[in-house]
Amino acid sequence: MTDKPAIGFIGVGQMGEGMCRRLLAAGYPFAVLAHRNRAPVERLVAEGATEAASAAALAAASNIVILCVSNADVVERTVEAMRPALTRGKIIIDTSTSAPEVTRRLAADLAEHGVTLFDAPLTGGPVQAEAGELGVLLGGPAGSIAEVEPVLRSFARRIEHFGPAGAGHAAKLVNNYLVCGMIALIADTYNAARDLGVDWAKLYSVMQQGSNNSPALQRIVSNAIEGNFDGYRFSLANAQKDMAYYMRLGDGLSGPSELAAAVLEEYDDAIARGLGDFMVSRLIDPDLQD
C-alpha cells in the first residue's frame, strides 16, 4: 500500500514515456491511456503501470491526471472526455505546450467544479525526461503547489512558478520562440555555408569555442556532420504550432514582431512542403532543399 496519490497519464509519446518511467520509479500508483503507438504503453505496463480503457476511466481511477499531448485542441477534447469523472478535489497537470487563453478558460471552468488545473509545460527533451532532469514552467494556484510539486519532482530538476493558470504556457511560448528562432537561424547559416563551399565540420569546430555554441547547435550540426539529420528530436509541425501560438500571444502585447513573423514563415513554408512530420534538424538536409 502507498499513501501517494494515484497518477493517470495521457500522451505516452517521445516525452511521455520517460516521464512515466520516472513516476513509476518514484512509487506512484500509475495508469496510462491506450495510445496509437502501442510499444511504449506495453513497455510501461510490463514495468508496472496499468492501462485504462478510456480517458474517463483513467480520470475516475486517478487523483492527478497528467496530460502530455500535441496541442490546445487535443487538451480541450481530452478534458471533455474526462469530464464525467472529474469530481471535486481532482487535479490536472497539463505538460503540453498549449495556448494560454485556452488554459485560462479551462482552469476557470474546472475550478467551478472543484477541479484544479495546472499548466506545467517542459524544457528539455526525451533524454532529460528519462533522466528526470526536465524543467517545468508552472502556472496555477500558488496555494496548491505543494500538492503537485512532489509529482513534478519525479521527472523535473527545476520547477519555477510563473503565476496563475496560463502563466506557465505564456512563459513556455516565450522560451520556444527563442528556441525556434535559433533553429531557423542555425539552419539558414549552415545552408549558406554549404552553398558557399564552407566546410561544415571545420565551421562547427570553431563555433564550439565561441558565443555560437549552444545545445541547439550541437544537436543539429554535430549529428548532421555524421550524416544524421534527425539529431534534434522536435518536429517541424510542433515548431510551427508553437510559433503560431506565440504570435497569438503577441496580439495581446504590442503586436507580434517582424522577426517573429519571419521565423513563423520559415516553419509555415516547411509545413506547406509536406515536412511537418520531419524533425527540425532536417532543415539542413541537402535532400530536402528547394
Q: Is 172 a catalytic residue?
A: yes
pTM for the model:
0.93
The CATH architecture one would assign to domain 170-288 is Orthogonal Bundle (1.10)
CA 61 to the chain's CA centroid: 25
| Tens-digit pLDDT profile for residues 48-71 | 999 999 999 999 999 999 999 999
Phi, psi of 151 (to 5 degrees): -65, -50
Residue 235 in grid coordinates: 518536429
Q: SS3 letters for 168-234? A: HHHHHHHHHHHHHHHHHHHHHHHHHHHHCCCCHHHHHHHHCCCCCCCHHHHHHHHHHHCCCCCCCCC
Question: The domain 7-164 is classified under which CATH number: 3.30.70.2190, 3.40.640.10, 3.40.50.720, 2.60.120.620?
Answer: 3.40.50.720
For residue 257, pLDDT over 90 is answered with no
- What percent of the residues of the chain are helix, what percent strand, and what percent coil, each to the nearest 5? 55, 15, 30
Domain ranges, ordered by start, for the chain: 7-164, 170-288
Mean pLDDT for the stretch of residues 179-205? 98
Phi, psi of 267 (to 5 degrees): -75, -35
Whole-number pLDDT of residue 3: 86
For residue 256, pLDDT over 80 is answered with no
**What single DSSP character describes residue 6?**
P
Residues in the chain, how many?
290
Q: Matching CATH topology for 7-164 and 170-288?
A: no
Q: Which listed residue (4, 90, 172, 202) is catalytic?
A: 172
For residue 1, pLDDT over 60 is answered with no
Q: Which band of pLDDT confidence, cut at 50, 70 and 90, is reported for residue 34?
A: confident
